A and B are shown apart, each in its own frame.
Chain A
Amino acid sequence: MVADPWVLILTPLLLSTSAAADFAEHRVWAIVARKFAIAASLVLAWMVSVGGAVQLHLYRWMEVGDRHIDIGLFCDGQTAALLVLVAVSSTLSALIGGGQTRAGGAASLAAAGAGLVIIADGNLLALVGLELLLAATFLHAAQSSPTAGAARRVLFYARLAALAFVGTLVFVDTLVVSWLVLLTAAVLVGAWPFHPWLEDLGESGTATGIRLAAALTGVCLLLRFAVPMPALVGVVLLALSCGVQTLSALASQDLFRVQMMTAAAQGSLVLAAVLVDPMVALLLLPLYGATQISSAVAQASIAEALPSVAKRFVDLGGLAPELPWPRGLALAAVFVCSLSAPALWAHTTLANIGFAEAGLPGAALVAILFVLPNLPLARLALLPFAGPVRHQTRSVTLAARLPHWVALTALSLAATIPAAVAWLAGPPTLNVAAAFAAGAGVVVVLAGLLLWRAGPGPTAAVESSLRSFAAHGFGVTRCLQACGVGLEVVGRFLWTALDGVLFGGIPGGMTLGVRAAGWLLARLHDGWSGWAVATALGTIAILLWSMQVGGTSW
């Protein structure tokens, strides 16, 4: 069976229809169109799996001399999987969105753009889809971002992504193309230092939908358009990005910021996986997407229950009895991310490659990289719900409480079964990573249980973790909390030191550069110190020049 061109274009078309319906405030039609988009993407996936890949040439866009650019569509297994993910994520994120119809329209438009990128055969149509996605992103930011400055930052990163990808049409047949595609993908997933737009887009469900569509687009672009490049450099850069963002997430007190930094770290990991093994990236995408949606739901529930409380770790605690399902969802996301069978399969495959390349340290490094982003996620899933209550709850109705034994069984199954499957099914070299992942999972599960057992504490508000620790003495739970406090203190110190330089991304770096330039200029007009700075700069310049002339190096 051969896929019809209309079936190829149907999903983006339906998502565009959904956007139009949202903009026209016909919510029901928008929902129906989104559901049909999922159906269309599934039908296409089935047709491709039965009939094989499809490539359709639509028309010749432009022909000048011996150069020509064509417009066409393409769909294979990877494409179909990505298209299904776009349609599903668009629908799920709309469920979190509530009644924001125009913002919902922007999210559907972004998903339509992502769909167009995915089915595009060639840079030009992909660029059109990317521009649609970026325009929708900016539109959402212009209307929903907390400040005009935030919207402007989103625009900056949107234009940066477009600039990088349009460069692939300008510098055709050069190695620059791969780096430009990597840059585009890095901006779209929010890899450091291109991450600030993730936060600036806002906390709504529609913003989550746009972020997911952008991440899927970034992965798709890297999968489809990057010609072979030195993967090691890209992988190292993305691994560094993951490390910086995990550190940032661990250091932050703000729940939303933690979620965004984790999303960016996960995005970096997926991009790194694309460079090594695309199949692994495709497995990780739905896992990480589900994690982000779960976290967004949990945070939306907290915001709904406590509208006047700042969503910071120091201000939240003991929410488990009131929000058992959001807590369960957030915890499930952590387990899915670290211990589900696809996660273990993906992690062990990469660990295997790491083992083959660099022995045991390579495998361990890969395993650590994949466990790291789960720590801030576990923090998000545990801390607001465990420990003493630190606020006066303003929710009217409480969600049903989950029985302990059900939760315990679910957690145990989630932790042990996938680990066992990975252990038994994998080749011997996989066992190291599987053991590592299973061990990390057990630690997370135990931590969760210990914190859970502490249950709801006294209703009096407690100002900080440290005070709570001092008031209740020692114990296993308290020891864990003490570790948390220590981690928090170190993280906060690092945060204060590095914020605005590293975590501020490009704007932070630019601000620092401008300030440093201003300081230097001020010194150069400031008596003896000015002379000292000028002399120092002159000496450095002469040294650099002499090294260049003499052919020496550092």
Chain B
Amino acid sequence: MSEALTPALILLPMGSALLLACLCGRIAAARGVAALLVSAQVLLVTVIYLAFDGPRLVLQAAWLPALGSQLLLSIDGLSMQALLLLTAILVVAVVAEIRLQEGGPSAARLVLIFVAITAMNLFVLSGDLLLSAAAYGTAGLALAALLGIGADMGGQTAARSFASWTVVGALLLSAAAAILAAGTGSTVIDDLTHITPDSARVAALLMMTALAMQVPLVPLHTWLAPIATAGTLAGRTLIFGGWCMLGAFGLLRYGLGLFPDLLSYAAPLPLLWGTATVVYAAIVAIAQQEQDLARRLSWATVGAGGLLLAGVAGLESLPVLGAWLHATVQGVPRVGLLLLAHWMATSGARRGSLAILWALLALGLGAIPGAILFPGWLLVVAGTPDMIVAGLLLVASAMLVFALVAPATHIARGSVGPPLPAALSRVLAVATIVVLLAGFYPQPLVNGARPVVERLLTRTAAADLAP
């Protein structure tokens, strides 16, 4: 059943966007329709998840025969988990737009939310590199528009900057696809795995740059901090929760999947790059002003990107699996903290209960034991072969937790501001419970991602054995 329903993951949000666009700005109706469509999307993903029993090719059609590109959709354990997270982030983004956005919801922004989700789902399901590049560009531009529409000057500047970065990223990915197509006559990922390393080096570099911008990794991270503090709430939610996670997905699917030999060849540079990113992010996060919660959060996001690369660079099943688990699930606490930071910044509220909520979510994002991020974090750090690098990752992670939790001392001192809006408190309560309790039984997550990771690493082993 999952093969039949999976294309609906693209068609439903696309149709939702069209339907909302047809409402011609009638905001009351748009709000109700958006809520219904989100419920349908949640139902659809849940059904597909329950029916999922292994990797499947769900759609194959010719697209650009000259380049050997196809409209190819497939689903596996990694994409299933990514889709679940994207759906959760979609729910939060719609709630943020309808209930929490200053000035009320906008029909245009609701349309853009669904457009962005369509493109992001396509990126996750795509089995063709050129199709992924198209999805990357579409999602990026939709998110940039979502970020800037109705925002103040700072938000519009941040949106323009984000749009520039995503256009560059899409061009880099497309160029990589074109180079690979010239060598193999196809852009389908399964065909590209047989490419010789020499002809793939430039393409790998271009692709790595595009994905490093998306994750993001130092020094390609400068677009993130302005977005943390400006722009519409739904746009920020989707970027922090979904866009960065897609970078992690791309790094595994395209980086590790296509160029394992180059990753081995470049070792230990990727590991050092990832570690340097975590350490740098930790130091700069602590240096941020304590009241500037969103900036601290943005540096924690950069640090998480570094940890991801360090895990992927391990090229063994434990760290790679850990990197994926860590990158997938952190969208939930990160978005919760982002919404809370935004609300405290706009309302000026400070009190003990807010400090507790902030500290709990920050500890969750910091991968404390018991939290959902801990299994992934542990697998990455414990799987790192070099003790010094493992120690550095350990210390830098602790510094990031300190940087995130320390503002609670400031938030706890005072009792001012309005009470937390009901919608936000519900979202945060659910996020906190999921984040803090799901880590007690992580085996389903591990079981879902492990076969795909092992398949990717089989290619690595094959590449290592090749003369």
Contacts and interface: CB of A to CB of B under 8 A. Distances in A.
A159 B402 contact: yes
B335 to A, nearest CB: 22
A62 interface: yes
Contacts of B406: 152, 155
A186 interface: no
Nearest to A139: B356
Interface string B428-467: 0000000000001111001000100000000000000000
A contact face: mostly helix, strand, loop, or mixed: helix
B426 interface: no
B355 A163 contact: no
Nearest to A63: B443
Contacts of B410: 148
Given A131-B369, A142-B355, A170-B378, A148 B446 contact: no
A147 to B, nearest CB: 9
Given A102-B352, A163-B395, A139 B446 contact: no
Interface residues of A, number: 37
Contacts of A171: 387, 390
A162 B368 contact: yes
B163 interface: no
A435 interface: no
B370 interface: yes
Interface string B193-210: 000000000000000000
A63 B412 CA distance: 40
A62 B377 CA distance: 13
B318 interface: yes
A172 B378 CA distance: 12
A64 B390 contact: no
B443 A162 contact: no
B394 interface: yes
Interface string A163-194: 10011011110001000000000000000000
A506 interface: no
Nearest to B316: A65
A62 B446 contact: yes
Contacts of B375: 62
B352 A143 contact: yes
A445 to B, nearest CB: 45
B229 interface: no
A167 B394 contact: yes
Contacts of A71: 440
Interface in A129-155: 131, 135, 138-139, 141-143, 145, 148, 151-152, 155
A467 interface: no
B413 interface: yes
A67 B318 contact: yes
A131 B363 contact: yes
A531 interface: no
Interface in B298-352: 317-318, 321, 352
Nearest to A151: B409
B408 interface: yes
Interface in B406-425: 406, 408-410, 412-413
Contacts of A141: 409
Size range of the chain B interface in the assembly: 35 or more
Nearest to A126: B369
A124 B398 contact: no
B396 to A, nearest CB: 10
A71 B368 CA distance: 16
A159 B409 CA distance: 14
A169 B382 CA distance: 7
B297 interface: no
Contacts of A63: 443, 446
Interface string B355-384: 110011001000011100001001101100
B215 interface: no
B413 to A, nearest CB: 6
Contacts of A59: 441
A138 B405 contact: yes
A172 to B, nearest CB: 7
Contacts of B356: 139
Nearest to B402: A159
Contacts of A160: 398
B224 interface: no
Contacts of A172: 382
A474 interface: no
Contacts of A139: 356, 359
Contact of B401 (A127, A143, A159): A159
A148 B409 contact: yes
A64 B387 contact: no
Nearest to B405: A155
Which has the most chain B C-beta neighbours within 10 Å: A67, A127, A156, A170?
A: A170
Nearest to A59: B441
A176 B413 CA distance: 39
Contacts of A545: none
Contacts of B321: 64
A155 to B, nearest CB: 6
A490 B360 CA distance: 47
Contact of A138 (B359, B395, B441): B359
B409 A142 contact: yes
B394 A62 contact: no
A135 B412 contact: no
A163 B394 contact: yes
Interface of B: 317-318, 321, 352, 355-356, 359-360, 363, 368-370, 375, 378-379, 381-382, 387, 390-391, 394-395, 398, 401-402, 405-406, 408-410, 412-413, 440-443, 446, 450
Interface of A: 59-65, 67, 71, 102, 124, 127-128, 131, 135, 138-139, 141-143, 145, 148, 151-152, 155-156, 159-160, 162-163, 166-167, 169-172, 176
Given A159-B401, A170-B390, 13 more contacts: A63-B446, A64-B446, A127-B369, A131-B370, A138-B405, A142-B408, A143-B352, A151-B409, A151-B412, A163-B394, A163-B398, A166-B369, A176-B387
9 contacts: A59-B441, A62-B375, A138-B408, A143-B352, A145-B409, A152-B409, A163-B398, A170-B382, A170-B390
